[in-house]
C-alpha cells in the first residue's frame, strides 16, 4: 500500500511539472523583414506569472544592425528610452549592451545586444500583475520605432 501511495504521489508531481513546463510561452522575435527599425511582432500576449522563453533572432533584415530586447514597466518606456539615448556618450555603452544602469528598477527583462545574424534566448517570469508592458530596442535611436507591447493577462 505504501508503494502505491508513493507511486501515486510521484505521478501527481510528474503531471504537475509537465503542466508547468507546458505553460512556458515560447516567443521568437526578429527585426521586421522590410523595416530594419521594427520588430516582426509588436503585440505579444502572455499570462500573468507565466514562464517566458524569448529568443531574439537578429536575422532577415534588409539593413542588418545590432538590436536588443528590453521589457519595461508600464509608463517607463519614455524614461528608459531617453536614458538609452544618453548612453551614446558612454564609452562603455556597447559593453553594457545599451541597457541603461539608471533604469534597472524599471527594466523587467532584457537581452544583451545581439549582432546581425546572431541570437540570444532569455527566460523570465511574466509580471504577476495584468497590464500592457512596453518592450523596445535601446540601441541608439531605435527605441522610438522598434517597440511593441507585451499584454499580460490573468
The per-residue pLDDT for range 135-152, each reduced to its tens digit, is 999 999 999 999 999 999
Q: What tens digit of pLDDT does each residue of 100-149 get? A: 987 789 999 999 999 999 999 999 999 999 999 999 999 999 999 999 99
C-alpha pair distances (Å), 120 with each of 21, 102, 115, 126? 20, 23, 10, 18
Q: Residue 57 pLDDT more than 60?
A: yes
Q: What tens digit of pLDDT does each residue of 16-46 get? A: 444 444 599 999 999 999 898 999 999 999 9
Tell me how far apart the terminal alpha carbons of the chain are, to the nearest angstrom. Answer: 41
Domain architecture of the chain: domains with CATH? 24-153 (2.60.40.420)
Q: What is the pLDDT of residue 7?
A: 46
Buried b (16+ CB within 10 A) or exposed e, 95-131: eebbbbeebeebbbbbbbbbeeeeebeeeeebbeeee
- Ramachandran sector of residue 100 (left: φ over 0; alpha: ψ -120 to 50; beta: rest): beta
In the numeric block, the cell 528590453 is attached to 70
Is the full-model pTM beyond 0.75? yes
Amino acid at each position: 500500500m505504501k508503494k502505491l501511495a508513493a507511486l501515486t504521489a510521484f505521478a501527481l508531481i510528474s503531471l504537475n511539472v509537465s503542466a508547468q513546463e507546458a505553460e512556458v510561452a515560447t516567443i521568437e522575435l526578429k527585426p521586421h523583414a522590410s523595416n530594419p527599425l521594427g520588430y516582426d511582432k509588436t503585440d505579444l500576449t502572455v499570462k500573468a506569472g507565466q514562464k517566458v522563453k524569448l529568443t531574439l533572432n537578429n536575422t532577415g533584415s534588409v539593413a542588418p544592425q545590432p538590436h536588443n530586447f528590453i521589457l519595461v514597466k508600464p509608463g517607463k518606456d519614455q524614461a528608459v528610452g531617453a536614458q538609452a539615448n544618453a548612453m551614446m556618450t558612454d564609452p562603455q555603452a556597447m559593453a553594457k549592451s545599451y541597457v541603461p544602469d539608471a533604469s534597472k528598477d524599471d527594466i523587467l527583462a532584457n537581452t544583451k545586444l545581439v549582432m546581425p545574424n546572431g541570437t540570444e534566448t532569455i527566460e523570465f517570469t511574466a509580471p504577476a500583475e495584468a497590464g500592457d508592458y512596453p518592450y523596445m530596442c535601446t540601441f541608439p535611436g531605435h527605441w522610438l520605432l522598434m517597440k511593441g507591447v507585451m499584454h499580460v493577462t490573468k
